[in-house]
Structure 1
Amino acid sequence: MQSDWSIDVPNLGEVIFRQELLKSLAKFRQLDACDKESGGVLIGKYLNSGGAMQIDDFTPPQPTDKQSRCGFYRSATHNRIVTQAWRESEGHATYVGLWHTHPESNPNYSLLDRRDWEKALKESRYEGQHLFFIIVGQQSLRCWVGVNSKKETKISLIGERHFGK
Protein backbone atom coordinates (compact mmCIF):
# COMPACT_ATOMS: atom_id res chain seq x y z
CA MET A 1 0.00 0.00 0.00
CA GLN A 2 1.81 3.00 -1.29
CA SER A 3 -0.58 5.92 -0.91
CA ASP A 4 -3.85 7.22 0.49
CA TRP A 5 -6.99 5.59 -0.89
CA SER A 6 -9.64 7.96 -2.18
CA ILE A 7 -13.23 6.91 -2.94
CA ASP A 8 -15.99 9.12 -4.29
CA VAL A 9 -19.02 8.12 -2.21
CA PRO A 10 -22.45 8.96 -3.65
CA ASN A 11 -24.33 11.63 -1.65
CA LEU A 12 -21.28 12.29 0.53
CA GLY A 13 -18.26 13.16 -1.60
CA GLU A 14 -14.63 12.15 -1.51
CA VAL A 15 -13.58 9.93 1.38
CA ILE A 16 -9.84 9.57 1.95
CA PHE A 17 -8.44 6.57 3.81
CA ARG A 18 -4.95 7.53 4.98
CA GLN A 19 -2.04 5.30 4.04
CA GLU A 20 -0.91 4.86 7.65
CA LEU A 21 -4.38 3.62 8.63
CA LEU A 22 -4.38 1.07 5.79
CA LYS A 23 -0.87 -0.13 6.71
CA SER A 24 -1.86 -0.46 10.36
CA LEU A 25 -5.01 -2.45 9.55
CA ALA A 26 -3.00 -4.76 7.26
CA LYS A 27 -0.91 -5.83 10.25
CA PHE A 28 -3.97 -7.61 11.68
CA ARG A 29 -4.48 -9.92 8.66
CA GLN A 30 -5.19 -13.52 9.64
CA LEU A 31 -2.37 -15.14 7.65
CA ASP A 32 -1.69 -18.09 9.97
CA ALA A 33 -4.16 -20.81 10.94
CA CYS A 34 -3.96 -19.76 14.61
CA ASP A 35 -4.58 -16.03 14.01
CA LYS A 36 -7.80 -14.77 15.59
CA GLU A 37 -10.24 -12.18 14.25
CA SER A 38 -9.50 -8.64 15.31
CA GLY A 39 -11.55 -5.51 15.08
CA GLY A 40 -12.42 -2.10 16.36
CA VAL A 41 -13.78 1.30 15.43
CA LEU A 42 -12.82 3.68 12.60
CA ILE A 43 -12.14 7.31 13.53
CA GLY A 44 -12.23 10.15 11.02
CA LYS A 45 -12.80 13.82 10.40
CA TYR A 46 -15.18 15.77 8.18
CA LEU A 47 -13.02 18.06 6.05
CA ASN A 48 -15.58 20.61 4.84
CA SER A 49 -19.26 21.41 4.85
CA GLY A 50 -19.67 19.47 1.58
CA GLY A 51 -19.22 16.24 3.47
CA ALA A 52 -15.73 15.16 2.39
CA MET A 53 -14.12 12.97 5.01
CA GLN A 54 -10.73 11.66 6.02
CA ILE A 55 -10.49 8.36 7.88
CA ASP A 56 -7.12 8.27 9.57
CA ASP A 57 -7.35 6.44 12.88
CA PHE A 58 -8.83 3.34 14.48
CA THR A 59 -9.09 1.51 17.74
CA PRO A 60 -6.97 -1.67 17.87
CA PRO A 61 -8.20 -4.85 19.54
CA GLN A 62 -8.61 -4.43 23.30
CA PRO A 63 -7.95 -6.91 26.11
CA THR A 64 -11.69 -6.78 26.93
CA ASP A 65 -12.68 -7.96 23.40
CA LYS A 66 -13.51 -11.60 22.67
CA GLN A 67 -11.61 -13.10 19.75
CA SER A 68 -11.71 -16.47 18.00
CA ARG A 69 -10.64 -17.73 14.57
CA CYS A 70 -13.99 -16.84 13.01
CA GLY A 71 -15.52 -14.45 15.52
CA PHE A 72 -14.97 -11.12 17.19
CA TYR A 73 -16.85 -9.27 19.93
CA ARG A 74 -16.05 -5.57 20.27
CA SER A 75 -16.11 -4.44 23.90
CA ALA A 76 -17.28 -1.08 25.24
CA THR A 77 -13.63 -0.03 25.69
CA HIS A 78 -13.65 1.09 22.04
CA ASN A 79 -16.41 3.61 22.80
CA ARG A 80 -14.33 5.13 25.58
CA ILE A 81 -11.30 5.47 23.27
CA VAL A 82 -13.39 7.22 20.58
CA THR A 83 -14.91 9.57 23.16
CA GLN A 84 -11.42 10.45 24.40
CA ALA A 85 -10.21 11.09 20.81
CA TRP A 86 -13.24 13.31 20.22
CA ARG A 87 -12.56 15.35 23.36
CA GLU A 88 -8.82 15.68 22.68
CA SER A 89 -9.51 16.86 19.11
CA GLU A 90 -12.15 19.36 20.32
CA GLY A 91 -14.87 17.53 18.43
CA HIS A 92 -13.05 16.98 15.13
CA ALA A 93 -12.11 13.28 15.38
CA THR A 94 -15.27 11.21 15.46
CA TYR A 95 -16.70 7.70 15.11
CA VAL A 96 -17.18 6.91 11.41
CA GLY A 97 -17.47 3.13 11.27
CA LEU A 98 -16.25 -0.33 12.19
CA TRP A 99 -13.49 -2.66 11.03
CA HIS A 100 -12.63 -6.31 11.56
CA THR A 101 -10.69 -9.14 9.94
CA HIS A 102 -11.68 -12.36 8.19
CA PRO A 103 -9.54 -15.46 7.54
CA GLU A 104 -10.23 -15.39 3.79
CA SER A 105 -8.31 -13.97 0.83
CA ASN A 106 -10.88 -11.43 -0.35
CA PRO A 107 -13.40 -10.81 2.42
CA ASN A 108 -17.17 -10.78 2.26
CA TYR A 109 -19.48 -9.95 5.11
CA SER A 110 -21.44 -12.63 6.94
CA LEU A 111 -25.07 -12.42 8.03
CA LEU A 112 -23.81 -11.68 11.55
CA ASP A 113 -21.63 -8.84 10.19
CA ARG A 114 -24.60 -7.39 8.30
CA ARG A 115 -26.77 -7.46 11.43
CA ASP A 116 -24.01 -5.77 13.45
CA TRP A 117 -23.67 -3.04 10.81
CA GLU A 118 -27.42 -2.46 10.63
CA LYS A 119 -27.55 -2.20 14.41
CA ALA A 120 -24.68 0.32 14.36
CA LEU A 121 -26.50 2.39 11.72
CA LYS A 122 -29.77 2.39 13.67
CA GLU A 123 -28.57 2.63 17.28
CA SER A 124 -25.15 4.32 17.35
CA ARG A 125 -24.60 8.05 17.78
CA TYR A 126 -22.66 9.52 14.86
CA GLU A 127 -22.53 12.57 12.63
CA GLY A 128 -24.43 12.46 9.34
CA GLN A 129 -26.14 9.42 7.87
CA HIS A 130 -23.12 7.34 6.77
CA LEU A 131 -20.96 4.75 8.48
CA PHE A 132 -18.09 2.81 6.88
CA PHE A 133 -17.39 -0.88 7.36
CA ILE A 134 -14.02 -2.40 6.53
CA ILE A 135 -13.20 -6.09 6.49
CA VAL A 136 -9.50 -6.93 6.25
CA GLY A 137 -8.83 -10.17 4.39
CA GLN A 138 -5.55 -11.93 3.65
CA GLN A 139 -5.00 -10.41 0.19
CA SER A 140 -7.29 -7.38 0.21
CA LEU A 141 -9.55 -5.24 2.30
CA ARG A 142 -13.02 -4.22 1.27
CA CYS A 143 -15.06 -1.24 2.35
CA TRP A 144 -18.82 -0.83 2.48
CA VAL A 145 -20.79 2.30 3.24
CA GLY A 146 -24.02 2.14 5.19
CA VAL A 147 -26.71 4.78 4.99
CA ASN A 148 -29.48 5.09 7.52
CA SER A 149 -32.52 7.02 6.40
CA LYS A 150 -36.06 7.09 7.73
CA LYS A 151 -37.13 4.79 4.88
CA GLU A 152 -34.43 2.11 4.96
CA THR A 153 -30.95 1.01 5.86
CA LYS A 154 -28.75 0.49 2.80
CA ILE A 155 -25.26 -1.06 2.75
CA SER A 156 -23.18 -0.99 -0.44
CA LEU A 157 -19.67 -2.10 -1.38
CA ILE A 158 -17.68 0.99 -2.38
CA GLY A 159 -14.17 -0.35 -2.88
CA GLU A 160 -11.49 -2.98 -2.59
CA ARG A 161 -7.80 -2.40 -1.98
CA HIS A 162 -5.24 -5.18 -2.55
CA PHE A 163 -2.20 -5.54 -0.34
CA GLY A 164 1.22 -5.29 -1.98
CA LYS A 165 3.61 -8.20 -2.09
Structure 2
Amino acid sequence: MTQTEIGLTAFDALPESAAVETLLSCCSSPAWAAGVAARRPYADLESLLSAADAVLEALTEAEIDRALAGHPRIGERPDSANSAREQAGMATADDVVRAAIADGNRVYEQRFGHVYLVCATGRTPAELLSILESRLGNAAADERRIVRRELVQINRIRLRRMIGEEGAS
Protein backbone atom coordinates (compact mmCIF):
# COMPACT_ATOMS: atom_id res chain seq x y z
CA MET A 1 0.00 0.00 0.00
CA THR A 2 1.35 3.41 -0.87
CA GLN A 3 1.03 6.43 1.32
CA THR A 4 -0.33 9.68 -0.01
CA GLU A 5 -0.31 13.11 1.53
CA ILE A 6 -3.86 13.89 2.57
CA GLY A 7 -3.85 16.70 5.14
CA LEU A 8 -5.47 16.60 8.55
CA THR A 9 -8.80 18.17 7.56
CA ALA A 10 -9.27 15.74 4.68
CA PHE A 11 -8.21 12.81 6.88
CA ASP A 12 -10.75 13.77 9.53
CA ALA A 13 -13.48 13.94 6.86
CA LEU A 14 -12.83 10.47 5.42
CA PRO A 15 -15.41 7.74 5.94
CA GLU A 16 -14.30 5.36 8.70
CA SER A 17 -13.26 2.57 6.32
CA ALA A 18 -11.21 4.94 4.16
CA ALA A 19 -9.51 6.42 7.24
CA VAL A 20 -8.57 2.93 8.45
CA GLU A 21 -7.25 2.02 4.99
CA THR A 22 -5.19 5.22 4.91
CA LEU A 23 -3.76 4.51 8.36
CA LEU A 24 -2.80 0.99 7.36
CA SER A 25 -0.21 2.61 5.07
CA CYS A 26 1.44 3.90 8.25
CA CYS A 27 1.12 0.78 10.41
CA SER A 28 -0.19 -2.62 9.37
CA SER A 29 -1.94 -3.35 12.67
CA PRO A 30 -5.70 -3.29 11.96
CA ALA A 31 -6.44 -2.57 15.63
CA TRP A 32 -4.07 0.41 15.61
CA ALA A 33 -5.58 1.80 12.41
CA ALA A 34 -9.14 1.35 13.69
CA GLY A 35 -8.26 2.88 17.06
CA VAL A 36 -6.63 5.96 15.56
CA ALA A 37 -9.46 6.42 13.05
CA ALA A 38 -12.09 6.13 15.78
CA ARG A 39 -10.63 9.07 17.72
CA ARG A 40 -11.15 11.59 14.92
CA PRO A 41 -11.45 14.50 14.50
CA TYR A 42 -8.04 15.77 15.54
CA ALA A 43 -7.45 19.39 16.46
CA ASP A 44 -3.87 19.34 15.18
CA LEU A 45 -0.95 17.11 14.28
CA GLU A 46 0.15 16.74 17.90
CA SER A 47 -3.30 15.45 18.88
CA LEU A 48 -3.09 12.85 16.12
CA LEU A 49 0.42 11.79 17.15
CA SER A 50 -0.54 11.54 20.82
CA ALA A 51 -3.58 9.42 19.98
CA ALA A 52 -1.50 7.18 17.72
CA ASP A 53 1.04 6.67 20.51
CA ALA A 54 -1.69 5.83 23.05
CA VAL A 55 -3.38 3.35 20.73
CA LEU A 56 -0.04 1.65 20.00
CA GLU A 57 0.78 1.45 23.70
CA ALA A 58 -2.49 -0.40 24.32
CA LEU A 59 -2.02 -2.95 21.53
CA THR A 60 -1.79 -6.62 22.37
CA GLU A 61 1.39 -8.48 21.51
CA ALA A 62 -0.51 -10.17 18.66
CA GLU A 63 -1.28 -6.75 17.18
CA ILE A 64 2.34 -5.70 17.59
CA ASP A 65 3.23 -8.82 15.59
CA ARG A 66 0.78 -7.70 12.88
CA ALA A 67 2.49 -4.31 12.83
CA LEU A 68 5.90 -5.96 12.55
CA ALA A 69 4.69 -8.12 9.66
CA GLY A 70 4.30 -4.95 7.61
CA HIS A 71 8.02 -4.15 7.79
CA PRO A 72 10.67 -5.67 5.53
CA ARG A 73 14.00 -6.80 6.91
CA ILE A 74 16.62 -4.08 7.10
CA GLY A 75 18.75 -4.37 3.99
CA GLU A 76 16.23 -6.31 1.92
CA ARG A 77 14.25 -4.88 -0.95
CA PRO A 78 11.66 -2.56 0.63
CA ASP A 79 8.05 -3.49 -0.12
CA SER A 80 6.60 0.01 0.09
CA ALA A 81 7.46 3.61 -0.68
CA ASN A 82 7.62 4.27 3.06
CA SER A 83 10.14 1.50 3.68
CA ALA A 84 12.20 2.48 0.64
CA ARG A 85 12.40 6.09 1.86
CA GLU A 86 13.19 5.03 5.42
CA GLN A 87 15.91 2.57 4.39
CA ALA A 88 17.43 4.86 1.76
CA GLY A 89 20.71 4.88 3.65
CA MET A 90 21.13 1.16 2.93
CA ALA A 91 21.78 2.02 -0.71
CA THR A 92 25.32 2.99 0.33
CA ALA A 93 26.00 -0.26 2.22
CA ASP A 94 29.04 -2.18 1.07
CA ASP A 95 28.88 -5.96 0.61
CA VAL A 96 30.48 -6.66 4.00
CA VAL A 97 27.97 -4.57 5.96
CA ARG A 98 25.07 -5.84 3.86
CA ALA A 99 26.10 -9.46 4.56
CA ALA A 100 26.56 -8.74 8.29
CA ILE A 101 23.08 -7.20 8.49
CA ALA A 102 21.58 -10.18 6.65
CA ASP A 103 23.29 -12.56 9.08
CA GLY A 104 22.23 -10.43 12.04
CA ASN A 105 18.63 -10.38 10.79
CA ARG A 106 18.60 -14.21 10.76
CA VAL A 107 20.07 -14.44 14.27
CA TYR A 108 17.67 -11.78 15.56
CA GLU A 109 14.63 -13.52 14.10
CA GLN A 110 15.69 -16.87 15.56
CA ARG A 111 16.23 -15.28 18.96
CA PHE A 112 13.14 -13.06 19.14
CA GLY A 113 10.71 -14.60 16.65
CA HIS A 114 10.11 -11.45 14.61
CA VAL A 115 11.80 -9.05 12.22
CA TYR A 116 14.46 -6.69 13.58
CA LEU A 117 12.68 -3.35 13.64
CA VAL A 118 14.53 -0.07 13.92
CA CYS A 119 13.64 3.43 12.83
CA ALA A 120 16.11 3.54 9.94
CA THR A 121 15.38 7.09 8.80
CA GLY A 122 18.59 9.08 8.60
CA ARG A 123 20.79 6.22 9.78
CA THR A 124 23.82 4.84 7.99
CA PRO A 125 24.28 1.14 7.27
CA ALA A 126 27.03 1.01 9.90
CA GLU A 127 24.68 2.52 12.51
CA LEU A 128 21.92 0.05 11.64
CA LEU A 129 24.36 -2.85 11.98
CA SER A 130 25.69 -1.53 15.30
CA ILE A 131 22.17 -1.17 16.70
CA LEU A 132 21.27 -4.67 15.51
CA GLU A 133 24.36 -6.18 17.12
CA SER A 134 23.74 -4.40 20.41
CA ARG A 135 20.09 -5.45 20.53
CA LEU A 136 20.92 -9.12 20.06
CA GLY A 137 22.00 -9.17 23.71
CA ASN A 138 18.64 -7.92 25.01
CA ALA A 139 16.22 -9.97 27.04
CA ALA A 140 13.06 -10.76 25.08
CA ALA A 141 10.86 -8.52 27.27
CA ASP A 142 13.27 -5.60 26.90
CA GLU A 143 13.37 -6.10 23.16
CA ARG A 144 9.57 -6.00 22.92
CA ARG A 145 9.58 -2.64 24.72
CA ILE A 146 12.21 -1.35 22.30
CA VAL A 147 10.15 -2.60 19.34
CA ARG A 148 7.14 -0.62 20.59
CA ARG A 149 9.29 2.54 20.87
CA GLU A 150 10.63 2.01 17.36
CA LEU A 151 7.08 1.54 16.05
CA VAL A 152 6.07 4.82 17.69
CA GLN A 153 8.93 6.62 15.93
CA ILE A 154 8.18 5.04 12.56
CA ASN A 155 4.43 5.69 12.86
CA ARG A 156 5.06 9.33 13.78
CA ILE A 157 7.25 9.83 10.70
CA ARG A 158 4.66 8.21 8.48
CA LEU A 159 1.75 10.13 10.02
CA ARG A 160 3.58 13.43 9.53
CA ARG A 161 4.16 12.51 5.90
CA MET A 162 0.51 11.48 5.50
CA ILE A 163 -0.70 14.77 6.93
CA GLY A 164 1.82 16.74 4.87
CA GLU A 165 3.88 17.97 7.79
CA GLU A 166 6.88 15.71 7.33
CA GLY A 167 9.31 18.28 8.70
CA ALA A 168 7.19 19.02 11.80
CA SER A 169 8.57 17.89 15.13
Is TM more than 0.5 here?
no
Greater relative CO (CA pairs within 8 A, separation 6+): 2
- Larger proportion of strand: 1
TM-score (norm 2): 0.25
Structure number having the greater helix percentage: 2
